Amino acid sequence: MVELVPPGESPNHRVVESVLDGLLAGNTALPPQVFIDDGDRSWRRHAAVLPVEVRRRSVLVTASDASLVDALSFEIGGAARLPVSTPSMEAACDVVATREAWEVVPMATQGVLDALRGDFSDPLVVGWRPQDFWRRQVGPTRLVRWLAEIAERLAIIPLILPGPILVVVGRSRAEIEAALDDAGGGAGSSSFPSPPMIFDLAAADLGVGDGIRIDRILAAEAAGCQDVDARSELRHPVLEIPSGQKVGQWSLTGGAGDDGSPWHASPRPKDRAGRTWEIVSHDGSSEVIAESTSLEMDDAAGQSVIRMPGFVGAALRHGSPAGLLIEGMARHDARRGRPIWVPSVDAEGVRFLLGLPGPIWVDGPGVPG
């Protein structure tokens, strides 16, 4: 039985119930919950108390781009726009039923750290810097999955803390570097957008004798990497689809480079999250663009290209919140003859974008180097 959340008797509820009854009669697999956003976004209060496993198998019905962005943060699996139709709801149900079964990797709790207190000698931390940039440009879900993969290769308990960062005990720096190479995360690898960094917390006061606290680990990690140069020199190609032509490249550092790319983009120096970017053309001209997640922002920007945040591109699927968001913006900008730049897409995301009107620029693990 599908639960409509929040419960109610609005016209939207009645239409959604009717569509779900029709899909059930057609043997479509239905989600456990359908969140209905009637405009007040109260669905978030109900979603927040559910386990992430349930949210990933649920669907949001909304007319709001802002709610679609929220759905990505809550890891809602599917989405359909109001007024809801049978095809849109069917696509949302299908993506929930058939999407990759990502293992849920929980954050380490204080109790886990207490149980491992006796093993806490020479701790090391693995993570990406700047944290706020990679969370926005890759998405925390993908970062956590990579850290869990590193922990599995090291055969250790995945002590993942907010950041996200992986706390490693009982393994050397050389062993971690070897695990990164095995996972395809060594220098120059395309599996990770940038090699994760390794920080030594051996000299930090973690209070091992009193019990290791999460806040002390996070504070020590933040203090220990302040002087570390985390500006990766890796350059990521940006292609236009469907032609496959290289239109530019981006990196954490500025400069047009010498590879003949039409332009080079980098986040503005004071914007550590990458919400604004500077594009420098090969002829030396430049333009500042702001990332956009809504048609309202899109229209107000007056830019030559609209760049989506990477966490949206990383979750791109037909019938997903990211898919609905990008589909609307791509069709809108195609009518204006303006490119939309969708970063961090995988191979399935590229296939989805090939069905939309262009021009569309892409980068990420699904894009050839």
Q: What three-state secondary structure class fits 250?
A: strand
- pLDDT for the residue 186: 43
Q: Which amino acid makes up residue 325?
A: L
- pLDDT for the residue 135: 92
In a domain, 317, yes or no: yes
- pLDDT for the residue 189: 39
**Closest alpha carbon to 104 in 147, 162, 52:** 52
Q: Tell me, yes or no, whether 86 and 133 share the same domain.
A: no
> Angle between the 11-25 and 86-98 helix axes, to the nearest 10 degrees?
60
C-alpha distances in Å from residue 59, one per residue of 3, 19, 22, 62, 222 = 11, 13, 16, 10, 37
- pLDDT for the residue 227: 52
Instruction: Domain of residue 161: give its range.
Output: 110-224
Q: Tell me, yes or no, whether 184 and 240 share the same domain.
A: no
Task: Select from 164, 192, 224 the last residue of a domain.
Answer: 224
In a domain, 299, yes or no: yes
Q: Tell me, yes or no, whether 144 and 246 share the same domain.
A: no
Task: Select from 224, 245, 266 the last residue of a domain.
Answer: 224
Residue the block writes with tokens 């209905």: 36
Task: Select from 50, 68, 98 the last residue of a domain.
Answer: 98
Is there a contact between 104 and 53 (Cβ–Cβ < 8 Å)?
yes
**Kind and range of the H or E run holding 235:** none
- pLDDT for the residue 69: 94
Please compute Rg for the chain using Cα positions: 22
In a domain, 230, yes or no: no
Helix/strand/coil (H, E, C) string of 230-257?
CCCCCCEEEEEECCCEEEEEECCCCCCC
Q: Tell me if the bond preceding 242 is cis, omega within 30° of 0.
A: yes
Asked whether the whole model's pTM tops 0.75, one would answer yes
Is there a contact between 274 and 263 (Cβ–Cβ < 8 Å)?
no
Q: Tell me, yes or no, whether 153 and 124 share the same domain.
A: yes
Q: Tell me, yes or no, whether 142 and 165 share the same domain.
A: yes
Q: Tell me, yes or no, whether 204 and 158 share the same domain.
A: yes
Q: How many domains does the chain have?
A: 3
In a domain, 89, yes or no: yes
Q: Tell me, yes or no, whether 81 and 115 share the same domain.
A: no
In a domain, 132, yes or no: yes
Strand partners, 277: 267, 289
| Residue 243 CB burial class (10 angstroms; 0-12, 13-18, ≥19) | exposed
- With vertex at residue 152, the alpha carbon angle to CA 147 and CA 157, rounded to the nearest 5 degrees, is 85
- pLDDT for the residue 240: 95
Is there a contact between 20 and 28 (Cβ–Cβ < 8 Å)?
no
C-alpha distances in Å from residue 214, one per residue of 94, 123, 155, 210, 338 = 39, 13, 22, 13, 46
Fill in the DSSP letter of residue 318.
T
10-residue mean pLDDT profile of the chain (369 residues): values are 90 94 92 93 94 93 95 95 96 87 76 82 87 90 90 93 92 93 53 81 65 79 63 82 92 69 90 89 90 71 87 93 94 88 94 93 87
**Closest alpha carbon to 198 in 223, 228, 232, 161:** 228
Dihedral (CA of 134, 313, 195, 269) sign = negative
Q: Tell me, yes or no, whether 210 and 268 share the same domain.
A: no
Q: Tell me, yes or no, whether 248 and 350 share the same domain.
A: yes
Q: Tell me, yes or no, whether 25 and 46 share the same domain.
A: yes
Q: Tell me, yes or no, whether 247 and 338 share the same domain.
A: yes
